[in-house]
Amino acid sequence: MPDIENNIKDKHKDLCAQIRHHDRKYHQEDAPEISDAAYDALRRELEALEDAHPELRETPDSPSRSVGAAPAQGFVKVRHAVPMLSLANAMTAEDVQDFLARVRRFLSLSDEDGVDVLAEPKIDGLSCSLRYENGRLVMAATRGDGAEGEDITRNVQAIDDIPKTLAFEGDAPEVLEVRGEIYMRRDDFGALNARLEAAGKKIFANPRNAAAGSVRQLDPSVSAERPLRFFAYATGEAGDGVPTFSTQKDLRDYLGACGFIVSAPARLCADADALLLFHEDILAARPDLPFDIDGLVYKVNRRDWQARLGFVARAPRWAIAHKFPAERAVTTIREIRVQVGRTGTLTPVAELEPITVGGVVVSRATLHNEDEIARKDIRVGDHVEIQRAGDVIPQVVAVLPEHRPADSVPFDFPQACPECGSIAIREAGEAARRCTGGLICPAQALERLKHFVSRNALNVDGLGERLLARFMAKGWVSSPADLFDLPQVNAGAAEPLETWDGWGAQSVRNLFAAIEAAREQPLDRFIYALGIRQVGQATARRLAAACLTLGNWRDAMARAQDRDGEAYADLLAIEDIGPGVADDLLGFFAEAHNLAVLDALCARMTITDYAPPSRAADSPLSGKTVVFTGTLSTMSRDEAKTRAEAMGAKISGSVSKKTDYIVAGADAGSKLEKAKTLGITVLSEQNWLDMVSKN
């Protein structure tokens, strides 16, 4: 490049070096030194220089040639062909016995029928779904919210335990999804932290965080340097060519034969005693295992039974995680703070002298409510024993009175909201004291916003508590609908987001794109996102299934305000909705300010009609209201209801004009009589079996 002045070449070289330096800091070391805005400015300067002197682009290592090496958008979302579920927990021997009893009851087993259960260690890592097409790995995805995860295909390339092609004797199956856990061994974790510490970088709190943090690196070359491993425990979608397994054990053996490492040691147990014995053995062996485990997973061995047992909410009925006992430690309480939740509940939290419990630094514990503090007489300055179990918030199990400071006084629980000063009342029969400030309480507003954008609600990436709190402090956002106006508000702001420390044009674009993408939501997610007390995901789904459209739902809630009317009876007829939940729902709709929030949201969002599970769409029960009565001889009532719901039916507990079918087992009583007088179609157990067996 003879005709370019030397000072321009120097300038170019300098810019390239700076950008490469910051790329490395950001993508590989997780330790950016400058804000996105400053980085963007460097990039623009380079672009301008190269526009003016196009020859400079030929410099082999110019960063302008490598734009997009790491996806700036973060990870690409992928939908799971088969949802990835979680597990219910058992903490005690009794919970395990209950689990087996539930399984037996659901399947209507006789006393002679044995239930074999496969037990295997539960390794605490990051769950991952691997998709193989014709034997070749084509996609790796995180669990995400279970329905949709993130594409981490490039990040798992260097994990040796994940075969890139599968070993098969004959033709490889067209599709095989293998699910399992990415984890880090204890010794590898120790070595990694030592390395990070020596380099002056942030270390990880435990092997689980290290595994998750290492996989979720935008730059796959960083993941590649991390000592990750994988074990397989399940399949997802399985196409032609994958055998039908009759037992979980067969499935496990197949995964092993395909080239995967499966969770070990495992044992096939014939009853609760055998499971509990294995649990004891593994608990004793736990300190010597090379990896952290947080319990065992028990799975009903017969796959035909697994299929019948199906799922409740998002966990299989045929499996359970038997957790190991919580780990405990003693520390002191520095301070007791009272937090205000989304629905105004005042929750006391102990600020602790930080202490390591089971490999994790703990500095807070929940104190539940004011009665709990009084009952245990928990005071500031006390020595307390705390415990931590899994991901739950640590708890105070006991106060050690012998160490109590002489001047300590009982904790005086506030009678007013610490955030907005409104009075906090306790209704009869309730453990919680609640702030009466409603929308004027900033804490409630913030918690509501957090819930609104959370993973199972609108799932807006990159909008965390701190950012929401800043938006609120600026007056940009006070209620959920304001989020959708953020881009306009930001454009007109004196100090737009782009100028904030740590923000640049690209990160602002990403945030606004995530908000934009959240505008369209199915009815069930939308109902859940509203954060109405006692309306969790399952209840939201049932409401959506019963009403189908947003308009119907609002209409039904308005009409149900009349407690003597038909709409109220319809509401109570929905499975799992009792008078308590109905009170909270109707209470929400009785408040003008909530209706205003709803209107504002509806003006900005598209709420799509409830879509029943796909295979239900063309079933004869789709959209039908079904009542079960009497005793069925071939399956339990629970199994029957589950099957009906999976086929798109709405289950009701009482007969009315809206009932489409009544399934009458033996000894059906008054419901059957009523159905007959109303002229409702009565199905015998055999009619019912014919109907479900076709689906």
Residue whose entry in the numeric block shows the structure tokens 């295997």:
120
Q: How far apart are CA 232 and CA 215, in angstroms?
A: 17
In one letter, which amino acid is 641? K
Point out which span in 119-127, 196-204, 416-424, 507-515 binds ligand IVH (CB under 6 A).
119-127
Smallest gap from residue 143 Cβ to ligand IVH (A): 6
Decide whether 258 or 527 has the Cβ nearer to ligand IVH: 258
Closer to ligand IVH by Cβ: residue 262 or 380:
262
Contacts of 249 (CB under 8 A, 6+ apart): 118, 268, 301
Shortest distance in whole angstroms from residue 595 CB to ligand IVH: 39
DSSP 8-state assignment for residue 261: -
**Minimum Å distance from CB 284 to ligand IVH?**
19
CB nearer to ligand IVH: give 128 or 523: 128
Helix axes 36-52, 6-23, angle to 10 degrees: 150
Q: Which of 130, 178, 184, 319 is in the footprint of ligand IVH by CB under 6 A? A: 319
Question: From residue 15, how far is each of 68, 187, 622 by CA, in Å?
Answer: 18, 41, 63
Told to judge if 122 belongs to the known catalytic residues of this protein, a careful annotator would answer yes
Q: Which position among 86, 363, 634, 681 is part of the footprint of ligand IVH (CB under 6 A)?
A: 86
Tell me if 123 contacts ligand IVH by CB under 6 A.
Answer: yes
Q: What DSSP letter does each residue of 296-335 carry, written as one string?
A: EEEEESBHHHHHHH-EETTEETTEEEEEPPPEEEEEEEEE
- Minimum Å distance from CB 320 to ligand IVH? 10
CA distance 571 to 539: 11
Residue nearest to ligand IVH (CB): 127
How far apart are CB 324 and ligand IVH at their closest, in Å? 13
First to last CA, the chain: 73
Q: Using an 8 Å Cβ cutoff, are 351 and 337 in contact?
A: yes
Residue list 257-316, contact with ligand IVH (CB under 6 A): 263, 297, 316
Which residues neighbour 375 within 8 Å (Cβ) at sequence distance 6 or greater? none
Interacting residues with ligand IVH between 206 and 235 (CB under 6 A): 233-234
Binding mask 324-363 for ligand IVH (x = CB under 6 A): ----------------------------------------
In whole angstroms, the minimum distance from the beta carbon of 116 to ligand IVH comes to 16
Interaction between residue 652 and ligand IVH (CB under 6 A): no
Residue ranges in 126-145 that form contacts with ligand IVH under rule CB under 6 A = 127
The closest of 680, 616, 615, 678 to 649, measured between CA atoms, is 616
Q: Using the 8-state DSSP alphabet, how is residue 522 labeled?
A: E
Nearer to ligand IVH, 210 or 234 (CB): 234
Q: Least distance to ligand IVH from the beta carbon of 126, Å?
A: 8
Of the listed pieces 34-42, 79-87, 359-367, 411-419, which binds ligand IVH according to CB under 6 A? 79-87
Among positions 38, 41, 69, 85, the unique one binding ligand IVH when judged by CB under 6 A: 85
Residue number, 49 or 88, with CB nearest to ligand IVH: 88
Pairing of the two strands 606-608 and 520-522: parallel
CB 444 within 8 A of CB 496: no
Size of interface with ligand IVH, in residues (CB under 6 A): 15
Give CA–CA dist 228/219, Å, rounded.
15
Cβ distance to ligand IVH smaller for residue 119 or 601: 119
Nearer to ligand IVH, 123 or 523 (CB): 123
- Choice between 39 and 233, CB closer to ligand IVH: 233
244 contacts 307 by C-beta, under 8 angstroms: no
Q: Is 612 in the site for ligand IVH (CB under 6 A)?
A: no
Is the Cβ–Cβ distance between 396 and 350 less than 8 Å? yes
- Taking the least distance from each CB to ligand IVH, the nearer of 40 and 145 is 145
Residue 125 CB, nearest approach to ligand IVH (Å):
7
Residue 574 pairs in a beta bridge with: 652
Contact residue for ligand IVH among 120, 150, 219, 639 (CB under 6 A): 120
Q: Note whether 85 and 127 are within 8 A (CB).
A: no
* Selected binder of ligand IVH within 70, 87, 258, 529 (CB under 6 A): 87
Q: Which strand (E) or helix (H) includes residue 53?
A: none
- Binding to ligand IVH, residues 509-548 (CB under 6 A): none
Query: Interface with ligand IVH by CB under 6 A: which range of 80-88, 437-445, 540-548, 601-609?
Result: 80-88
SS3 595: helix
Tokens of 477: 């956002």
If one counts every other C-beta atom within 10 angstroms of the C-beta of residue 255, the result is 22
Phi, then psi, of 384 in degrees rounded to 5: -130, 155
Q: How far is the CB of 307 from ligand IVH (least distance, A)?
A: 12
Residue 599: partners with Cβ closer than 8 Å, 6 or more residues away: none
Work out how close the CB of 359 gets to ligand IVH at its nearest, in angstroms, rounded to a whole number: 17
> Would the CA dihedral through 232, 293, 114, 310 be positive or negative?
negative
For 285, other C-beta atoms within 10 Å of its C-beta total 12
Contacts with ligand IVH, 377-396, as mask; x by CB under 6 A: --------------------
Residue 323 or residue 448: which is nearer to ligand IVH going by CB?
A: 323
Active-site residue (options: 13, 25, 122, 474): 122
Which 3 state secondary structure label does DSSP give 565? Answer: coil
- DSSP annotation of 136 reads E
Using the rule CB under 6 A, give the single segment among 82-90, 395-403, 429-437, 680-688 that binds ligand IVH.
82-90
Name the packing angle between helices 579-590 and 550-559 (round to 10°): 100
- CB of 293 or CB of 460, closer to ligand IVH: 293
Among 181, 382, 524, 645, binds ligand IVH (CB under 6 A): 181
Residues lying near ligand IVH in the complex (CB under 6 A): 85-87, 120, 122-123, 127, 181, 233-234, 263, 297, 316, 319, 321
Which residues belong to the active site? 122
